[in-house]
């Protein structure tokens, strides 16, 4: 009976702190320059998912290999992990693990010989670049520089990030307390059994 109570207590204490996948969503500023079919009312929005929360104090860390999923749209086309070349996927985080800087460059990977390659780039202001999107060379799938036509870009990089799901902590705060409780209860249970038998 005591063992079942111990398990119940541990589930209540530890389960809320188990790390889960986290999705980080992005909403960029509206486009300042926009060549049709883009408009000044559009912007780059999207999200990416990683299996664990981003670590605190990252500095331009390449997290491309950690991505579980991604989806970014410029209002004309959408890039996903399945159909994109990751030309760059770097983030910086603050002391709490929140995204404080980014440099993300996605290129369409599944273009045909007669199809323009779609491109999405988002940057924070420290990079000296702005969010931009557009279509490049026919049939291209590499990360080589290309002129985008049509294209759109923002006048500044004031995009906003938010974390959805999971937890912002990389180590559960209650884990050591829960372990101490578990060993204490197991020790107490063993002691009571020895007293009852002897």
Q: What tens digit of pLDDT does each residue of 24-60 get? A: 999 999 999 999 999 999 999 999 999 999 999 999 9
Nearest to 107 by CA among 152, 151, 144: 144
Q: Residues 135, 176: one domain?
A: no
Q: Residues 43, 3: one domain?
A: no
Question: Would you say 123 and 98 are in contact if contact means Cβ atoms under 8 Å apart?
Answer: no
Q: Residues 12, 45: one domain?
A: no
Question: How many structural domains compose the chain?
Answer: 2
Q: Residues 124, 32: one domain?
A: yes
Q: Residues 151, 197: one domain?
A: no
Tens of pLDDT, residues 6-31? 455 444 444 444 457 999 999 999 99
Tens of pLDDT, residues 116-159? 889 999 998 888 888 999 998 766 667 888 888 899 999 876 78
Q: Residues 64, 141: one domain?
A: yes
Q: Residues 2, 53: one domain?
A: no
Question: Would you say 122 and 26 are in contact if contact means Cβ atoms under 8 Å apart?
Answer: yes
Q: Containing domain of residue 10, as a range?
A: 1-18+172-198
Q: Residues 93, 151: one domain?
A: yes
Q: Residues 57, 88: one domain?
A: yes
Q: Residues 39, 124: one domain?
A: yes
């Amino acid at each position: 009976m005591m063992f079942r109570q111990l398990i119940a207590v541990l589930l209540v204490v530890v389960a809320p702190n188990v790390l889960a996948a986290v999705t980080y969503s992005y909403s960029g500023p509206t486009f300042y320059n926009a060549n049709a079919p883009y408009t000044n009312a559009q912007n780059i929005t999207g999200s990416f998912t990683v299996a664990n929360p981003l670590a605190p104090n990252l500095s331009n860390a390449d997290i491309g290999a950690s991505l579980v999923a991604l989806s970014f749209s410029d209002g004309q086309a959408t890039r996903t992990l399945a159909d994109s070349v990751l030309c760059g996927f770097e983030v910086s985080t603050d002391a709490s693990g929140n995204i404080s800087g980014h440099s993300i460059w996605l290129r369409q990977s599944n273009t045909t010989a007669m199809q323009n390659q779609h491109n999405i780039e988002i940057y924070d202001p420290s990079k000296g670049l702005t969010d931009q999107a557009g279509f490049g060379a026919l049939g291209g799938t590499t990360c080589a520089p290309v002129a985008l036509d049509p294209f759109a870009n923002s006048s500044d990089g004031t995009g906003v990030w938010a974390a959805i799901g999971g937890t912002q902590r990389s180590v559960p705060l209650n884990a050591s307390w829960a372990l101490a409780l578990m060993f204490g209860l197991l020790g107490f249970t063993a002691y009571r059994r020895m007293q009852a038998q002897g």
